[in-house]
Structure 1
Amino acid sequence: MAEEKQHYMTEEGKQKLEQEVNYLKTERRQEVVERIKVARSFGDLSENSEYDSAKEEQAFVEGRINQLEKMLKNAIIIEEDSSNNTEVALGKSVKFKEMPDGEEEVYTIVGSAESDPLEGKISNDSPMAKSLLGRKIGEQVTVSTPGGDIEVEIIEVN
């Protein structure tokens, strides 16, 4: 049997996933069951699009529960290490600027389960994070992106 993927996450990220699983199991699952009951009352199931839609939603909800439970089972909590603020690591925020004179950007490197680029959280599996991890303040790093390679300089790590 293949080894299951480990999922890095902060304690906050783990709590969010636990809340989502709880919501899906206690509320969403019941809502879908009610939809199925109502759709069954419409008659012939072979031509009942409402029933088909509800069953598809049920499969999605059960799949999501299964996915989240596996992630939580294989969760590795990212410990905050405030002693080393010179090296880019999982759970740290990194400020860098595009070279030669680009604007500064700040991202926190988190596990894929809680990445949200719009909130400034990037996955440790992303090309940007992979290029920055283990690097130190002042280093210039080449990052491969879909738009081509870019050169960045690490300014700050928190």
Structure 2
Amino acid sequence: MSRVSYMTDEGLKKLREELALLESVERPKISRQIAEARDKGDLSENAEYEAAKEAQGLLEMRIAKLKETIAASRLIDESKLDTSKVQIMNKVKIKNLKNNAVMVYTLVSESEADLKAGKISISTPIAQGLLGKKVGDKVEISVPAGKVPFEILDISL
């Protein structure tokens, strides 16, 4: 069994929509491709058939992973979130004390992470280093480039 994944209603809705698309559109499409390739004759030398079967395997793996994630998901009651210390679903404004760069990240579940949108997974080293800290706290976080000092400037929803 996978570990519990906390997420927003919006994040869970996106996963369910993706699952529905894969099951109702992509799965039948690949089945048709396999049937068409099978109709072309000798399967032992049919590259189209092999490619379609491989695509089917990858699709079924993705469907299984989505079902597992959805089953292990727990919705977060956003009305009960607190901004006195860093926790999942908080927007955290931090300052890199080495280069004075200021960044804003929202800590989210792995399935909702999107760096371009400023959403980082709760399992990343930066998020792990920030959890439980308060505004004004200074933390040193180990990242692939080494240890980086940060100061927490603001915590919001």
Output the TM-score relative to the length of structure 2: 0.94
By how many angstroms is 1:4 displaced? 2.9
Aligned residue in 2 for 1:134: 132
Output the CA distance in 1 between the equivalents of 2:5 and 2:57.
23
The one of 46, 50, 63 equivalent to 2:48 is: 50
Output the CA distance in 1 between the equivalents of 2:16 and 2:29.
19
Output the CA distance in 2 between the equivalents of 1:84 and 1:110.
15
Whichever residue aligns with residue 155 of structure 1, its letter is: L
| Counterpart secondary structure, 1:68 | helix
Output the CA distance in 1 between the equivalents of 2:6 and 2:93.
21
| Counterpart secondary structure, 1:4 | coil
Output the CA distance in 1 between the equivalents of 2:125 and 2:81.
26
Point out 4+ residue stretches in structure 1 off by more than 3 angstroms.
Answer: none
- Is there any run of 5+ residues in structure 1 with no aligned partner, and where? none
> Greater CA deviation, 126-135 or 84-93?
84-93
By how many angstroms is 1:84 displaced? 2.8
Aligned residue in 2 for 1:10: 8
CA contact (8 A) 2:2 2:69 kept: no
1:110 has 2:108 as partner: yes
Aligned-residue sequence identity (percent) comes to 37
Output the CA distance in 2 between the equivalents of 1:100 and 1:36.
56
Alignment length, in residue pairs? 156
Output the CA distance in 1 between the equivalents of 2:79 and 2:141.
25
Please list the CA deviations of residues 62-98 of structure 1 after superposition, one character each: whole Å capped at 9, or x if unmatched.
1111110011111011221466323111011100111
Output the TM-score relative to the length of structure 1: 0.94
